[in-house]
Chains A and B, each alone.
Chain A
Amino acid sequence: MKGIRLGADITRPFQDLWTKGNRYGTEFSADMELWPNLFPVFESGFEVMKINTSYIDYKSSGSYSRIGMDYNFLQAENKNDKNIFYVGLRYGFVLAKQQVNSYTIDSYWAPTTGRFGNQNYFAHWGEFLIGIKGEIVHNFYMGWTIRGKIKLNNKDTGMPPIYFIPGYGKAEKGFNMDFTYSVYYNLPWDFRKSIDRKKAAIGVPAKGTITKKPSPQKLPAKK
């Protein structure tokens, strides 16, 4: 497939519909078939989690990134067939902050109130996923992934512990499942042709081109 495919996850802004608390964000991605059926991928996003109850007002936010690779299993039926069914691996990391703007401890005597200031933290995790990307109209794609996320580590912030990791989910869980649904546009840029043109301009033979005919060699006569 030629070009770079740019995508936006349309499920991220609506996550509060299926998660506890007010969770929302944005996520963009870029992938490219550098080698046959192998697509290096870069994903980046921003997420916010807010919980506001009678007892606590919490907020966490941060920008995360993932790098990884997808492998396409689907055999192309013809040279214009760009649909892929793939498995992938990701390494994700985030720099985030959380804050308890206020908390209340109820008591017969008198309620106690307080707050915790900004806590900055780093976390990272690994993901394995399965998904499809199908071309809807020329160069426009849609696709979904189902992801398993395994937490590798996060900073110990003390009180309160980290509750939410943007891009990963609840920090108390060592494993999280996620679902994404994205739309993509394929920038029809043939980077291989561009490289070949540049090489030709500076006199470097492009890969796969013959610059000189091999001289005929005489084979020893058979006895």
Chain B
Amino acid sequence: MKRVVYLIFFLIAAVACKEVFEAPPQAFLKASLLNSSTKKSLSSVVTARGVGMDSLLYKDSTITILILPLSPNNKSSFRITFDSISDTITFTHEASMKYASVETGFYNEYKLKSIGFTKNRIDSIQITDSLVTKTWHENITLYLRPLPAGSN
């Protein structure tokens, strides 16, 4: 019996460590940047923020893929500057709450309904997958007009 008691205390000591709970997953909209003329991947210096928000999502970042967080409300608007030319994109979507686990919590997933945008640098936007889930994958393709020769 004594040995069993010692074994129990040993097991308790071995497993009694600090608990770590992970943060819940997040669903982000993923956009690929393409050249509207060549239809090839395009690299751009991007600055982006949500309309009405102070904090920047990107600041002069050279990227080919844009990751955007959608709002839990039905509309998300972003002011995005591509190589010093600014556009505004507004996503209309539905948000639905998902359960990850009690240890992590809940998160939102989204279904894109429509997209509105200004056409300063953006030529067109194509929805490739309207479901924005925790497994980040391409949801839209942004076709950008090529910069005029000599600019940059």
Contact = CB atoms under 8 A, between A and B. Distances in A.
Given A14-B12, A163-B101, A105 B76 contact: no
Contact of A17 (B15, B72, B102): B15
Interface stretch (A50-58, A74-82, A117-125): A50-58
A21 B19 contact: yes
A185 interface: no
9 contacts: A53-B21, A55-B23, A55-B24, A55-B104, A105-B72, A109-B50, A109-B53, A163-B101, A181-B4
A160 B11 CA distance: 33
A136 B97 CA distance: 56
Contact of B12 (A18, A144, A160): A18
Interface of B: 1, 4, 8, 11-12, 15-16, 19, 21, 23-24, 26, 50, 53, 55, 57, 69, 71-73, 76, 97, 99, 101-108
Contact of B103 (A51, A100, A112, A134): A51
A18 B11 contact: yes
B102 A109 contact: no
A142 interface: yes
Interface string A164-201: 10000000100000000100000000000000000000
B105 A56 contact: yes
Nearest to A111: B72
Which of A14, A103, A108, A172: most chain B Cβ within 10 A?
A108
A2 B76 CA distance: 75
Contacts of A11: 8
Interface residues of A, number: 33
Given A21-B19, A108-B57, A108-B69, A103 B1 contact: no
Please give me the 7 A-B residue pairs with the lowest Cβ-Cβ distance, nearest first. Answer: A55-B105, A163-B102, A108-B69, A109-B71, A56-B105, A18-B15, A53-B21
A107 B69 contact: yes
Contact of B1 (A53, A112, A142): A142
Which of A109, A136, A144: most chain B Cβ within 10 A?
A109
